[in-house]
Amino acid sequence: MDRTYVVSGAASGIGAATTALLRERGDRVIGIDLRDADVVADLSSVAGRSAAVRVVRGLTDVVHGVVPCAGVAGLTGVDPALVVSVNYFGALALVRGLRAELAAARGAGVVLLASNSITCQPGWAGDVADLCLAGDEDVACAAAASTQAVQVYPATKAALAWWARREGVGADWAGAGIRVNAVAPGLVATPMTDRLRADPELGAFADSYPTAIGRPGRPEEVAATIGFLLSDAASLVVGSVLYVDGGTDAMLHPEVPVGWEVSPRA
């Protein structure tokens, strides 16, 4: 049976690899990005998110899965408020905006893009993660503005992981036949990590985390995991955060991941 999926950030990196994988399986993918996509939209703004959802709804009545891959890296000189708006609020606006279409599939999946920086990067802005979960974008962006984007990026990814855990098991999602999970990639060879290596302050740390496989991941490897989580083979996987990082988190924390909690930090 052909299925319809929505992938943001579809023009490059993990989003492009996920789009390619799903299309190779014979599925329909509605890609969203700033350029070179089926739906051209800016998910950093409320208006852009609303427009994206509206266009997708005009293209299909049923959505079998949503994968919000669009994201902004926490690099030197990047507006930390933009990181909050795109990575967290942009992703969830797409998921929430298409909930009715997901429920109409009578068996759908959502895969959020978290990051192993949640546990592998020290000192990130936990208060920003809390404020993201509280749902007030203006307040969360204001808090993010007081620190650097490099400390805000993991906060947005932790908030997505927590949201998947907290909300994914509820009546609105699992109860409606929508499985919500997250993947937490490590260093993956994408244009985003190329920009990290070129960063004048952070570039030296680009390859500082160890991996058991001795190399960065490839976008298609993360896409394969996303494809599994969207498939019927993952029917029992609900509210999980799956590390896809070549073993980095396990090497740094041999017994249990540390540095983030499933329950609200407050």
Name the residue among 138, 176, 162, 145 with its Cα closest to residue 240. 162
User: What is the identity of the amino acid at 80?
Assistant: P
Dihedral over Cα of 135, 144, 115, 192: its sign: positive
25: its two tokens = 């399986």
Dihedral over Cα of 48, 149, 168, 33: its sign: positive
Number of C-beta neighbours around residue 42 at 10 A: 17
Number of C-beta neighbours around residue 115 at 10 A: 27
Question: Who contacts 200 (Cβ-Cβ below 8 Å, separation ≥6)?
Answer: 76
Burial of 40 (0-12, 13-18, 19+ CB in 10 A): middle
Q: What are phi and psi of 223, to 5 degrees?
A: -60, -35
153 is catalytic: yes
| 18 and 223 Cβ atoms separated by less than 8 Å | yes
DSSP string covering 81-118, please? HHHHIIIIIIHHHHHHHTHHHHHHTTSEEEEEE--THH
Residue of 5, 88, 153, 243 marked active site: 153
90: its two tokens = 């942009």
Helix axes 137-144, 126-134, angle to 10 degrees: 170
Residues tagged active-site:
153
